């Protein structure tokens, strides 16, 4: 071991500077690697509904998809993480911040786009975003103007920045919501059901905006739309009835279903029979006839053909199937 006191003062000062730099770098790395850790989180509403039952998730930086049907508990979880409601038990940490206890600390680094939010219809996006920036404490005018401009460009609203929000489409409003959620350069961004009600073109534009984020931020995208997760997320979880049924990397999760999904086009009246005899995970109409997907370890024969499983198969196998194909 080298002892600092035995070497000359100039060398020790230089070494000290190097150590200090190293310390700063390590701290930066630590900040970049920030994770959201949810541990055993539970919530029962006063009407007895168990909205969250021992939810545990580790969410790294990047885009995380929380997928589940309506009523699964997604909003309850999002609102709890965003410090808008209390849990009964469990904990949530963002890095060092104990979210359930240090609400103000979390709010300083949080961006939140709720399912529904009101906008002042009679002013332009540029004016309203500038107003929100003032409320967030960005007092330097030129700094604020630069930020507002950058965010309007990032969300593809710069060309329509002078238009009143009343004339904005659903997709434009959602993108404005993202712009305001990014004002404080958040470390945690929560986006709750952002694409519900958007047409495919608007949904795509919204995906493009979201895909630009995420590298140094924990982004949680809560949705019941499988495509949202398929297009954007590097990690995901499926929740149903307040419980996590599956979590992991979407590519790996799909890989686990390989060779287990078969399809067949049938007649409508046969559907009940097939549901009795097979593990039917989805049914879709194709040219007016139902095409069913079933789960099976082996080819069931009977006219079924194997298909490449996709995330929709994974999702439906979890939501509509009681058998526990994957265990956590």
Spatial separation of the C-alpha atoms in residues 175 and 155, rounded to whole Å: 6
Spatial separation of the C-alpha atoms in residues 247 and 237, rounded to whole Å: 4
Q: Does 250 bind ligand ADP (CB under 6 A)?
A: no
Instruction: State phi, psi for 141 to the nearest 5 degrees.
Output: -60, -45
Q: Does 139 bind ligand ADP (CB under 6 A)?
A: no
Q: Give the number of residues in contact with ligand ADP, rule: CB under 6 A.
A: 12
Residues 54 to 73: which contact ligand ADP by CB under 6 A? 68, 70-73
Nearer to ligand ADP, 88 or 302 (CB): 88
Nearer to ligand ADP, 71 or 170 (CB): 71
- Judged by CB under 6 A, the stretch of 74-82, 148-156, 302-310, 318-326 that binds ligand ADP is 74-82
Closest alpha carbon to 305 in 266, 275, 277, 263: 263
Q: Binding ligand ADP by CB under 6 A: which of 61, 75, 217, 317?
A: 75
- Judged by CB under 6 A, the stretch of 46-54, 96-104, 152-160, 202-210 that binds ligand ADP is 46-54
Q: Does 45 bind ligand ADP (CB under 6 A)?
A: yes
**What DSSP designation does 325 have?**
S
Instruction: State phi, psi for 56 to the nearest 5 degrees.
Output: -130, 125
- H or E segment to which residue 312 belongs: helix 311-319
Q: Minimum Å distance from CB 85 to ligand ADP?
A: 8
- DSSP string for 106-172: HHHTEEEE-SS----TTSBHHHHHHHHHHHTT---HHHHHHHHHHHHHHTT-GGGTTSBGGG--HHH
Nearer to ligand ADP, 71 or 300 (CB): 71
Positions in the binding site for ligand ADP (CB under 6 A): 45, 47, 49, 51, 68, 70-76
């Amino acid at each position: 071991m080298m002892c600092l006191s035995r070497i000359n003062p100039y060398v020790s000062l230089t070494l000290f500077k190097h150590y200090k730099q190293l310390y700063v770098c390590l701290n930066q790395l630590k900040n970049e690697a920030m994770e959201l850790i949810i541990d055993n989180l539970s919530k029962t509403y006063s009407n007895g509904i168990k909205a969250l039952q021992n939810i545990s998730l580790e969410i790294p930086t990047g885009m995380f998809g929380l997928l589940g049907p309506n009523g699964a508990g997604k909003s309850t979880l999002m609102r709890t993480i965003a410090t808008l409601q209390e849990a009964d038990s469990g904990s949530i940490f963002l890095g060092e911040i104990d979210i359930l206890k240090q609400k103000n600390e979390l709010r300083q680094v949080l961006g939140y786009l709720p399912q529904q939010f009101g906008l002042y219809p009679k002013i332009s996006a540029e004016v309203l975003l500038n107003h929100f920036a003032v409320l967030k404490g960005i007092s330097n005018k030129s700094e604020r103007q630069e930020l507002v401009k950058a965010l309007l460009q990032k969300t593809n609203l710069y060309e329509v920045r002078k238009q009143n929000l009343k004339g904005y489409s659903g997709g434009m409003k959602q993108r404005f919501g993202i712009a305001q959620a990014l004002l404080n350069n958040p470390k945690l961004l929560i986006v709750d059901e952002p694409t519900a009600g958007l047409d495919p073109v608007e949904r795509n534009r919204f995906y493009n905006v979201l895909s630009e984020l995420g590298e140094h931020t924990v982004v949680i995208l809560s949705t019941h739309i499988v495509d949202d997760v398929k297009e954007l997320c590097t990690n995901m979880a499926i929740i149903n009835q307040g419980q996590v049924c599956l979590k992991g990397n979407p590519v790996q999760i799909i890989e686990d279903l390989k060779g287990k999904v078969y399809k067949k086009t049938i007649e409508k009246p046969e559907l009940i029979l097939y549901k009795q005899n097979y593990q039917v995970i989805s049914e879709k109409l194709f040219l007016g006839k139902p095409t069913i997907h079933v789960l099976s370890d082996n080819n069931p024969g009977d006219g079924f053909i194997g298909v490449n499983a996709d995330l929709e198969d994974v999702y439906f196998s979890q939501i509509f199937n009681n058998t526990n194909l994957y265990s956590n």
